[in-house]
Amino acid sequence: MSDAEHQQKAASSEVPHHVAIIMDGNGRWASARGMPRVEGHRRGVEAVRRTIRAAGEIGIKIITIFSFSAENWSRPASEVGELMGLLRRFIRNDLASLHESGVRVRIIGEREGLEPDIARLLTEAEELTRNNTNLTLVVAFNYGARQEIVRAAKRAAQLVAEGKIKPEDITPESFAGFLDAPDLPDPDLIIRTSGEQRLSNFLLWQSAYSELVFVPTYWPDFDRAALEAAIDSFRQRERRFGGLAARTAS
């Protein structure tokens, strides 16, 4: 087998290490079927379960899901209440099985101001699964990328004010250490469902060199086949990270 064939075979088998997903289209899925929006969100939870299971089977090591944005609080109170109820039920019903499957749960986003029981459930999920290593599930909850960057800037500024670091010590590499999950690698692939083609304030810092795949499928219909199709698209990309030579997923 020639060198070119070896490289082609390696590329075809490459699985992104970290996949992030903007789960969009629950409401439109429901509306298209004459159902209330909350039914779309309920079916969306089923898609989350399918995707986590498929990610583990495919060999993805980190999957980040955009579950609730900082801007979502502006939705009608009844819908926000339903979403909080779904989160509560998901953690209470699914946490044990995630733990048994070796999934580690991480939460990114602003925790201050959350309802006490929600905050406790998020902490419980992280603490129970802390030592699991099969798959890391990062849940972006009450999350906005601009807000995350501002939090990071405040942390850096506080250290400067305390004299612990100098302004010139702040570099792109060191600044990343102030983000919500500084130990995690940037996503190799970001998928957005529903056909919309924007990041919507999701992982703006971390997505600098991520590959983006936009799929027309509404989130409740997303399944393993759709995930594999997005990964196939990822495999066709040449990732140069600003340089000339292509690099593989981290």
In a domain, 167, yes or no: no
Domains: count for the chain: 1
Least confident residue range of 13-17, 93-97, 142-146 = 13-17
pLDDT band at 116 (very low <50, low <70, confident <90, very high): very high
**Could you give the angle at the alpha carbon of 177 between the alpha carbons of 131 and 129, nearest 5°?**
15
Least confident residue range of 78-82, 187-191, 240-244 = 240-244
In a domain, 104, yes or no: yes
The residues carrying an active-site annotation are 24, 72
In a domain, 92, yes or no: yes
The domain that contains 125 carries what CATH number?
A: 3.40.1180.10
Q: What is the pLDDT of residues 69-89, one digit of tens each?
A: 989 888 889 889 988 988 898
The mean predicted confidence, pLDDT, of the chain is: 91
In a domain, 174, yes or no: no
In a domain, 18, yes or no: yes
Q: Which two tokens stand for residue 143?
A: 């999350």
Q: What is the pLDDT of residues 195-239, one digit of tens each?
A: 999 999 999 999 999 999 999 999 999 999 999 999 999 999 887
Contact 70/143 with Cβ under 8 angstroms?
Answer: yes
In a domain, 63, yes or no: yes
Total count of residues recorded for the chain: 250
- Domain span at residue 93? 3-144+185-235
In a domain, 10, yes or no: yes
pLDDT(13) > 60: no
What distance, in Å, lies between the first and last C-alpha atoms of the chain?
26
Contact 89/70 with Cβ under 8 angstroms?
Answer: no
Spatial separation of the C-alpha atoms in residues 222 and 192, rounded to whole Å: 11
Contact 152/179 with Cβ under 8 angstroms?
Answer: yes
Q: Which two tokens stand for residue 113?
A: 């101001």
pTM above 0.75, yes or no: yes
Q: Which two tokens stand for residue 83?
A: 């979403």
In a domain, 212, yes or no: yes
Q: Which residue has the tokens 């969009």?
A: 24
Spatial separation of the C-alpha atoms in residues 180 and 178, rounded to whole Å: 7
Q: CB neighbours of 114 closer than 8 A, spacing ≥ 6?
A: 122, 142
Q: What's residue 57's pLDDT?
A: 96
